[in-house]
Each structure stands twice: as structure tokens, then as C-alpha cells.
Amino acid sequence: MGQFMKGSSSSELVSAKMVSKFITIEQYGRGTLFSPLNPPAADDFKLAEEGIEKIKAVISSDEYSIVILDEINTAMYFKLVELKDILKLIKEKPGHIELVLTGRNAPSELIQNADLVTEMAEIKHYYKKGVLPREGIER
């Protein structure tokens, strides 16, 4: 799994290591939240580019049957990654590899080129009541 825009320890990393020795997770980000007042920096673009190159190598290696690009849609939204590069990955990947792309704001062209699209919508979230990330759940 390549985690884009993430760069710190979290419960998902700990859980994955506990569940299986067959899961490899690499992070391509600084763990920074972006906004109009805090746009991506040069380091963020470099890390995302390194992530794409690593994902290409992983797909070419035939070592994995499932490759997850976690938060790649969000990385595209912030222009850290170009849509054309992701579409090329989809078109050129070997048929036996499942490519899973996650994150909000998936571009419509990406949706059109996908075999399966699932949308997860927040209905209610305790963050809005001021509950901070909890150890073992969000961290």
C-alpha cells in the first residue's frame, strides 16, 4: 500500500503489521493537512512523485496482486499527482493486479475508467463535537 499525503504513525499502520506480514505500507507525505492557507510545499510534490515511481515499480515487479494507492484522489485534488499518470497506471497494469484508489474528490475521468466505484459518505462524525483523534482508532 502506498499512502499518499500521510507521513506519520497511525492505527492503520499498527493494525496492518499485526494482521499480516504480507502487507507492505510505505508513506509518501509529511502528514500535513492542506488548505488555502497551507498549500502543498515543494517537499510534498517530491514525495508524491517518489510515491508514483515506487508504485510503478511495485506493479512491474509482480510481487503483489493488490496495490492500494491510499488517498491518491485527494493527492490529485491538491495537484500533487497528475490524473494522466494515474490513468496510465490503470491502463498499463497487468490484468491480474487489483488496483485500489482511495480518497475524496475522485475526478470524473477516473471514475469513468474504473471497474468499480464505491462512495463512502459521512453522515455524522464525533469530530464535530470536538472529540480528538483517539489512540488505536484514528492514531
Which pLDDT value is given to residue 24? 83
CA–CA dist 110, 34 (Å, integer): 22
Which pLDDT value is given to residue 25? 82
pLDDT in tens, 36-47: 788 999 999 999
Phi/psi region, residue 15 (left: phi>0; alpha: psi -120 to 50; beta: rest), is alpha
Domain spans, the chain:
2-129
pLDDT in tens, 79-122: 999 999 999 999 999 999 999 999 999 999 999 999 899 988 88
Confidence (pTM): 0.80
pLDDT in tens, 78-91: 999 999 999 999 99
C-alpha cell at 125: 462524525
Task: Enter the CATH code of domain 2-129.
Answer: 3.40.50.300
